[in-house]
Amino acid sequence: MIIALWYFTTGLRLPVKLTTTTTTIRPSHNTTINNTTSTTSLSTSVYYLSNCVNLGIFNSTSNSITTNYCLWKGGTLGAWVASGSSKSISYSIRGISDNVTYLKGTSDYSCITFLQNISLPAQIYNVTIHTGSPGGTCNDSYSIFKLNSTTTAPSGVVYTSVYNGNFSTGEYNGWNTTGTGFGSGPMSIAKANAEGCYQGAPWTGYNGSYFATTFNCGLSNSPGNLTSSMFIVNKPFLNFKIISPYSQNIYVEILKANVPVTIAHFNTYNISRFGNSSSYTFRNASIPLISLAGDNVRIRVVSLSLKHHNYIAVTGFKMSTLPQGTPGILYSLNTS
């Protein structure tokens, strides 16, 4: 007890040997079930556990796995990732005592980027990263997963890709909202479909988990804007998924120095020549960025409409070398 209090007070490291218990069930000759329990050491080494608030895992080798353990007294931490010289990394945080996976996912953020905040109860954690194939673009070759006390995305950062472009954290990390139209966070596709929060039929056309929308499951929609963090244009097209009727009050902008340089109106309801039109199916959309190569820009999604059917839904923002727009949905494109 004294040692445990000493650690949580000082944050000093303690030697801890980790073990797992496996129960094996074997049938005997008389059909009676015998239970045999064996204990297997995870390692013959002694682990010196650092505080999770100071955890950092680094790996510069592609297609490899790195695991570490840390001890946490409970609370909220910020998670940071970088794929380094890999195209992407997978990461996970699993509790040793309760065997619950608290965070799991993949990232192609090449340089170190804030991922999300995460609340973890007090226990020992297994933290693992799995590097992918070579191909990252960051000058730092190391794939990184870090935990620290920063729990919000830093402002003023220029990213090398669209930050949190698919809202995979379930939060608007790195995006700013004005007005109430887009709510306090993205909508969960699974939750919306399970609760009947859609218009006519369940949401389709996107295999992610979250999307930003002004659809509020009710009879009216509120106006609002949604603006991304700044990123540098290093590919010629911005691709994303969208649901939108044509309206002068609903569009997607590209901002340079906070001034609109591109305004795109879409109409996903009017594609009868290329597929069934609907108000609940996401369509592929593209905006050319060729004239903005090397510039720092932002995305702003604008919805000034209060009409029930005039809502917009977007997700999956990502720069690409090739466009993926569905024919017929780009209604107008104005550039300056």
Backbone angles phi, psi at 292, to 5 degrees: -110, 15
Q: What is the pLDDT of residues 126-183, one digit of tens each?
A: 999 999 999 988 888 999 999 999 888 888 889 989 999 999 888 999 999 999 999 9
Closest C-alpha to 176, from 139, 210, 212, 136:
212
Highest mean pLDDT among 36-40, 60-64, 236-240 belongs to 236-240
Q: Which domains does the chain have, with CATH numbers?
A: 2-41 (no CATH), 47-154 (2.60.120.380), 176-335 (2.60.120)
Q: What is the pLDDT of residues 211-231, one digit of tens each?
A: 999 988 876 678 999 999 999
Who contacts 99 (Cβ-Cβ below 8 Å, separation ≥6)? none
Closest C-alpha to 265, from 250, 277, 280:
250
Q: What is the pLDDT of residue 169?
A: 83
* pTM (2 d.p.): 0.77
Distance (Å, whole) CA 330 – CA 204: 19
